[in-house]
């Protein structure tokens, strides 16, 4: 064959890839065919419909037994056509169903009913990144969800779809404002750096940088900078696999320490050209409000506070109680400012089809959400996705291309109103004057709606493209290369017009400001790979060799403009009289690696899997750029031993274990250089240069040694399937910003700290098929994670700058706090335990109470019920944890600003036993001092465990002939059971809008 010469002459395999890339678009391949010798004699067209008893099943593969090369796939109505002879037998297979062998017996029409089979689930192939493995034969720890789970959720962020559904994966939403982010931790916190615990994201083989885009300065409305993951559209995801243990992650080397999230997008399927659409509309509201004082209670508190302070008359500045404001007004500000309803609209369409050789999928969708804030704010996302696959006729050459383009447009107020909404005096004046302008009540009212004058806007365009080429050199040897390209462009603006200031300042548009930032991120990756299979004795050997070349370039420009001639020109930088550049940055990251996998599978009973990677990264200084990572994994399918053969009880049994080393390089670029950077700030005609950081060139990788052992068992023909895993990970050589006292001029120093963090835990997943009838199915998935995080080793912790933060033997998420001992009945002042007995509360020596904020256990309980055309799916998420309670929002009781209703139970006179202290406006400094210590005590920390009906979805399939049509209802965060009194128990970022309760309904059809 022609192609052999390409690699015989040894010119280099890279050339091959590029040549193939070229010729794959030319007609060269058309000539390169192999004639099939199969004689198609006495063939008939056989047709029929494939159903599960009720509904047609599309996408089923129908093949003719012992005749390779003849196959068909059922269309959307479950119909198929195939050529076969009268004596042939059809081989009908589909994931989730038992494979059926149907003899044709001379029939022209063969209708086939498939039977659900849970046992086949373990035959499903699981994506492990560079390779895929059969579920039953995998040696690593991989959790997976598929589009079936993802589609049911009215959410826009890919991480939201995973919440509560995967063992060992803890995901917390950080804000209810659309466009915000999620925190994710896979098997706990490995790195001391709070921002060094992100997993590696790979979308269709292309690494996708999850580093936040934009600038923190701009997105004040969000607790974290916008996450690029918002660009991924959940509706286009076929599956998400999370790689957890060393066996699965070591092949990702220096980037695998925190786990790997593999996102696979939907692919085109051959068959009739199909159009599908899904439309839904929903609403979002705040899940719960706090119970706060009404105006009368509040004013009584204020009056009592001034009386306690001995201040009379009530001072000028206390407008709320000195008579300046109407004493009879009573406004529920939470309802006023956060009580709106967000409207959510979602439209998805797709067109797919193709032949056996070439398939395509084109999908487009649009999502829009408004907010619960007053005013016209919204988030819009549009997305286009194209996938084309082609296989040469001789099945040697394959090309697989996906391109996704997403546009996001987010318009939000400059600031989240949450913090102010709970603190405004309930008798504060009306928001608007009668003429519709903002009411400042003669300069006495800091109108919260001023924050809506400022506008935050973010526009993100994101392209992800990949091409995968593969060619089978011989039957055993496959050469493959993936090429990926991503580009992301983000512009953000925060406009702060002068109208947000009290007019009393007399500030005109010359005081309006605009922060405008633009960020670009481009990356490419090439990963040539060789895959060699060989049967050696009774075992199968597979060797994979590959390498990675990756480069990422980022640019960022942030400008601050002020002094506008008019507020209507605020987005026009040229009408600003002053512009200065806050950030002008370009960074380059280069990464190179060589990786290998060796897998030996003896009779599908004993499996050994070796993986390794040698990594080089530009993030480290000379001499520290390269490191080697690797893992060994093994599995024993003991159910295949003779002793268990034909055992009615145990249908599947596998014991697997793995050990290996992975790394973490999430530290940002150029950290090893001693540099000065431009500040953009002018002084006497000179633009300043400032030292970038404290200088430390000698730091290297953080390493994470992972060990896991797991038992997978299936009972009663796998209708009960239990997986239990125990893992023990040690993360050491911690690469961290070591906190320094301010006297050093900086707050941190980048370096390796010889500290070790242990993450240990048990993960249980149980899948049961409770009822399996033709018209009624009920299955349950339960996952439970019990995890412990522990600091094992820390050199000189006591004398280090971390001594206040960590304790050896405790979790990284602890807080050392005072022990709150209630209100002193004599003085009405908060008291705390004076541990060292020196008569005062002296910080660290008295903060001996330890509170661990990491969840003790968490999990989910998912049920799927199907009755005829109805399907009900619901997920309960549960977390056992503690969190800061509602007190964290409020100032000293008695001072200006509202308080929870519970504060009514306060100390008033000698001998009172009360929960809350004496009221003071703030001049009682002992009471104030004591109150602020409260925030550093266990008094503000409460149980925040919860059980939440995270997701529910109910659908009804209308039985129609040619059109598949489904009506559905979906809900998110519908019910919450908790003792927690704060805003939302799930939620960690106080002061921001908590996650919303979403109700949505819609229709889905295809033809």
Report the C-alpha dihedral over residues 201, 202, 203, 207, rounded to 10 degrees: 100
Binder of another protein out of 673, 792, 808, 958 (CB under 8 A):
673
Cα separation of 457 and 981, whole Å? 33
- DSSP 8-state symbol, 417: S
CB of 311 to another protein, least distance (A): 8
User: Which residue stretch of 516-524, 678-686, 953-961, 970-978 sits at the interface with another protein (rule: CB under 8 A)?
Assistant: 678-686
Residues of span 732-771 touching another protein by CB under 8 A: 739-747, 749
Peptide bond into 313 cis (omega under 30): yes
Q: Which of 128, 229, 220 is nearest to 183 (CA)?
A: 229
Binding flag, residue 42, another protein (CB under 8 A): no
Contact 437, 311 (CB under 8 A): no
Cα separation of 783 and 788, whole Å? 17
Q: Which of 709, 730, 712, 714 is nearest to 662 (CA)?
A: 730
Beta bridge partner(s), residue 601: 540, 607
Closest CB to another protein among residues 580, 867? 580
Binding flag, residue 475, another protein (CB under 8 A): yes
44 Cα distance to chain centroid: 51
φ, ψ at 277 (rounded to 5°): -145, 150
Binding flag, residue 273, another protein (CB under 8 A): no
CB of 706 to another protein, least distance (A): 25
Look-up of token digits 């010729």 = 23
Binding flag, residue 474, another protein (CB under 8 A): yes
434: left (phi over 0), alpha (psi -120 to 50) or beta: alpha
Residues of span 632-671 touching another protein by CB under 8 A: 669-670
CB of 683 to another protein, least distance (A): 4
Binding flag, residue 897, another protein (CB under 8 A): yes
Tally the residues of the chain: 1007
CB of 446 to another protein, least distance (A): 5
User: Which residue stretch of 77-85, 100-108, 798-806, 901-909 sits at the interface with another protein (rule: CB under 8 A)?
Assistant: 798-806
Closest CB to another protein among residues 583, 655? 583
User: Which residue stretch of 47-55, 288-296, 605-613, 616-624 sits at the interface with another protein (rule: CB under 8 A)?
Assistant: 616-624
Binding flag, residue 444, another protein (CB under 8 A): yes
Contact 148, 140 (CB under 8 A): no
Binder of another protein out of 355, 443, 770, 908 (CB under 8 A):
443
Question: How many other C-beta atoms are found inside a 10 Å radius of the C-beta of residue 262?
Answer: 23
Binder of another protein out of 606, 626, 857, 956 (CB under 8 A):
626
Beta bridge partner(s), residue 241: 144, 262
Q: Which of 791, 788, 672 is nearest to 731 (CA)?
A: 791
Residues of span 397-436 touching another protein by CB under 8 A: 398, 400, 423
Residues of span 354-373 touching another protein by CB under 8 A: 359
CB of 782 to another protein, least distance (A): 28
Closest CB to another protein among residues 286, 469? 469
Binder of another protein out of 115, 628, 771, 844 (CB under 8 A):
844
Question: How many other C-beta atoms are found inside a 10 Å radius of the C-beta of residue 226?
Answer: 24
User: Which residue stretch of 154-162, 186-194, 868-876, 890-898 sits at the interface with another protein (rule: CB under 8 A)?
Assistant: 890-898
**Binding pattern for the stretch 685-704 against another protein, x by CB under 8 A and - elsewhere:** -xxxxxxx-xx---------
Cα separation of 708 and 139, whole Å? 10
- DSSP letter string, 815-848: EEEBPEEEE-TTT--EEE--TT-SSS--GGGT--
Cα separation of 349 and 277, whole Å? 4
Binding flag, residue 472, another protein (CB under 8 A): yes
Binder of another protein out of 616, 634, 697, 991 (CB under 8 A):
616
Residues of span 4-33 touching another protein by CB under 8 A: 7, 10, 12-14
**Binding pattern for the stretch 481-520 against another protein, x by CB under 8 A and - elsewhere:** ---------------------xxxxx---xx---------
Look-up of token digits 């003849």 = 70
Closest CB to another protein among residues 13, 430? 13
Binding flag, residue 594, another protein (CB under 8 A): yes
- DSSP letter string, 582-629: EEEEEEEEEEEEEEEEEEEEETTTEEEEEEEEEEEETTS-TTSSEEEE
Q: Which residue intervals of 77-198 are DSSP H helices?
A: 147-150
Binding flag, residue 955, another protein (CB under 8 A): no
Residues of span 906-935 touching another protein by CB under 8 A: 922-923, 925, 928-929, 932
Closest CB to another protein among residues 29, 878? 29
CB of 868 to another protein, least distance (A): 27
Cα separation of 994 and 1007, whole Å? 40
CB of 588 to another protein, least distance (A): 5
- DSSP 8-state symbol, 809: T
**Binding pattern for the stretch 545-564 against another protein, x by CB under 8 A and - elsewhere:** xxx-x------------xx-
Structure-block tokens of residue 245: 């243990």
User: Which residue stretch of 174-182, 210-218, 891-899, 978-986 sits at the interface with another protein (rule: CB under 8 A)?
Assistant: 891-899
Q: 77 exposed, middle or buried (CB, 10 Å; 0-12, 13-18, 19+)?
A: buried
Residues of span 163-222 touching another protein by CB under 8 A: none
Beta strand spans in 246-396 (E): 260-265, 271-286, 342-354, 358-370, 378-391
| Burial 309-323, CB ≥16 within 10 A → b, else e | beeeebeeebbbbbe
Binder of another protein out of 269, 274, 866, 950 (CB under 8 A):
269
CB of 69 to another protein, least distance (A): 13
- DSSP letter string, 737-798: EEE--GGGSSSEEEEEE--EEEEEEEEEEEEEEEEE-SSEEEEEEEEEEEEEEEEEE-TTGG
Binder of another protein out of 74, 896, 953, 1000 (CB under 8 A):
896
Closest CB to another protein among residues 375, 922? 922
Binding flag, residue 56, another protein (CB under 8 A): no
Residues of span 277-316 touching another protein by CB under 8 A: 311, 316
Residues of span 57-76 touching another protein by CB under 8 A: 59
Cα separation of 548 and 206, whole Å? 11
């Amino acid at each position: 064959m022609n192609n052999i010469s390409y690699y015989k002459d040894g010119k280099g395999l890279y050339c091959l890839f590029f040549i193939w890339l070229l010729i794959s678009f030319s007609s060269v391949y058309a000539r390169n065919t192999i004639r099939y010798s199969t004689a198609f004699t006495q063939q008939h067209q056989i047709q029929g419909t494939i159903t599960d008893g009720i509904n047609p099943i599309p996408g089923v593969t129908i093949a003719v037994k012992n005749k390779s090369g003849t196959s068909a796939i059922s269309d959307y109505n479950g119909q198929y056509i195939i050529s076969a002879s009268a004596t042939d037998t059809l081989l009908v297979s589909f994931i989730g169903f038992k494979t059926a062998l149907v003899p044709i017996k001379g029939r022209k029409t063969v209708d086939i009913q498939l039977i659900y089979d849970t046992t086949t689930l373990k035959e499903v192939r699981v994506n492990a990144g560079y390779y895929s493995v059969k579920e039953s034969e995998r040696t690593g720890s991989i959790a997976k969800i598929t589009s079936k789970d993802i589609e049911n959720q009215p959410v826009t962020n890919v991480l939201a779809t995973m919440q509560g559904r995967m063992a060992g994966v803890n995901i917390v939403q950080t804000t209810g404002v659309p466009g915000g982010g999620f925190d994710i931790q896979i098997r706990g916190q490995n790195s001391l750096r709070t921002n060094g615990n992100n997993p590696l994201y790979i979308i269709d083989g292309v690494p996708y940088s999850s580093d936040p885009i934009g600038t923190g300065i701009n997105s004040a409305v969000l607790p974290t900078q916008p996450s690029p993951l918002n660009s991924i559209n959940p509706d286009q995801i076929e599956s998400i696999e999370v790689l957890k243990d060393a066996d699965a992650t070591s092949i990702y080397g220096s980037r695998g320490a925190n786990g790997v999230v593999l996102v696979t997008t939907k692919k085109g399927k051959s068959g009739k050209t199909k159009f599908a659409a899904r439309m839904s509309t929903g609403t979002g509201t705040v899940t719960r409000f706090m119970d706060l004082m009404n105006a009368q209670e509040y004013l009584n508190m204020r009056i009592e506070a001034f009386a306690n302070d001995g201040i009379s008359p009530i001072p000028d500045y206390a407008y709320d109680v000195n008579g300046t404001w109407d004493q009879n007004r009573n406004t529920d500000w939470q309802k006023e400012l956060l009580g709106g309803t967000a409207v959510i609209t979602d439209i998805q369409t797709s067109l797919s089809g193709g032949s056996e050789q070439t398939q395509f999928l084109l999908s487009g969708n649009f999502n829009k959400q408004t907010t619960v804030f007053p005013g016209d704010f919204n988030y819009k996302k549009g997305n286009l996705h194209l996938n084309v696959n082609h296989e040469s006729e001789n099945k040697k050459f394959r090309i697989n291309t996906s391109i996704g383009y997403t546009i996001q447009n987010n318009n939000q107020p400059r600031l989240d109103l949450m913090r102010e909404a709970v603190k405004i005096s309930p008798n504060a004046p009306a928001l608007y004057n009668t003429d519709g302008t903002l009411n400042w009540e003669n300069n006495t009212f800091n109108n919260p709606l001023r924050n809506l004058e400022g506008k935050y806007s973010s526009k993100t365009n994101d392209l992800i493209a990949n091409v995968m080429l593969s060619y089978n050199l011989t039957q055993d040897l496959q050469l493959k290369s993936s090429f990926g390209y991503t580009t992301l462009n983000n512009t953000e603006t925060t406009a702060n017009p002068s109208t947000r200031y009290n007019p009393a300042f007399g500030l005109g548009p010359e005081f309006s400001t605009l922060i405008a930032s633009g960020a670009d991120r481009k990356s490419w990756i090439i990963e040539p790979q060789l895959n060699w299979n060989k049967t050696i004795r009774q075992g199968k050997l597979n060797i994979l060799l590959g390498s990675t070349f990756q480069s990422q370039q980022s640019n960022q420009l942030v400008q601050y403009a002020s002094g506008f001639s008019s507020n209507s020109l605020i987005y026009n930088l040229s009408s600003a009289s002053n512009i200065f550049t806050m950030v002008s940055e370009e960074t380059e990251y280069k990464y190179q690696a060589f990786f290998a996998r060796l897998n030996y599978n003896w009779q599908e009973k004993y499996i050994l899997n070796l993986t390794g990677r040698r990594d080089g990264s530009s993030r480290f200084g000379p001499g520290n750029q390269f490191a080697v990572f690797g893992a060994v994994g093994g599995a024993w399918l003991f159910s295949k031993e003779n002793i268990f053969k034909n055992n009615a009880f145990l249908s599947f049994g596998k014991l697997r274990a793995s050990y290996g080393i992975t790394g973490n390089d999430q530290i940002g670029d150029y950290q090893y250089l001693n540099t000065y950077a431009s500040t953009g700030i002018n002084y006497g005609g000179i633009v300043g240069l400032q030292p970038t950081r404290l200088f430390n060139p000698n730091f290297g990788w953080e390493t994470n040694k992972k060990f896991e052992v797991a038992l997978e068992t299936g009972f009663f023909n796998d209708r009960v399937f239990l997986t239990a895993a125990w893992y023990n990970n040690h993360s050491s050589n911690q690469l961290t910003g070591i906190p320094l006292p301010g006297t050093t001029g900086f707050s941190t120093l980048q370096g390796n700290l010889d500290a070790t963090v242990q993450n240990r835990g048990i993960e249980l997943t149980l899948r049961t098929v409770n009822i399996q009838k033709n018209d009624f199915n009920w299955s349950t998935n339960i996952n439970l994670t019990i995890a412990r995080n522990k600091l094992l080793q820390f050199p000189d912790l006591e004398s280090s700058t971390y001594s206040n933060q960590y304790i050896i033997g405790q979790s990284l998420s602890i807080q050392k706090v005072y022990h709150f001992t209630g209100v002193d009945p004599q003085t009405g002042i908060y008291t705390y335990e004076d541990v060292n007995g020196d008569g005062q509360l002296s910080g660290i020596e008295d903060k001996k109470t330890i509170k661990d904020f990491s969840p003790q256990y968490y999990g989910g309980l998912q049920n799927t019920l199907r009755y005829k055309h109805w399907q009900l799916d619901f997920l309960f998420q549960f977390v056992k944890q503690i969190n800061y309670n509602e007190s964290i929002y409020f100032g000293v009781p008695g001072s200006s600003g509202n308080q929870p209703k519970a504060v009514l139970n306060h100390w008033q006179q000698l001998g009172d036993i009360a929960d809350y202290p004496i009221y003071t406006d703030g001049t009682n400094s002992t009471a104030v001092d004591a109150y602020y210590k409260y925030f550093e005590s266990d008094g503000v920390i409460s149980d925040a465990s919860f059980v939440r009906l995270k997701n529910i979805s109910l659908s009804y399939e209308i039985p129609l002939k040619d059109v598949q049509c489904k009506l559905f209802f979906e809900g998110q965060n519908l019910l919450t059971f908790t003792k927690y009194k704060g805003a939302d128990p799930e939620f960690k970022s106080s002061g921001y809008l908590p996650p919303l309760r979403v109700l949505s309904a819609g229709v889905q059809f295809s033809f």
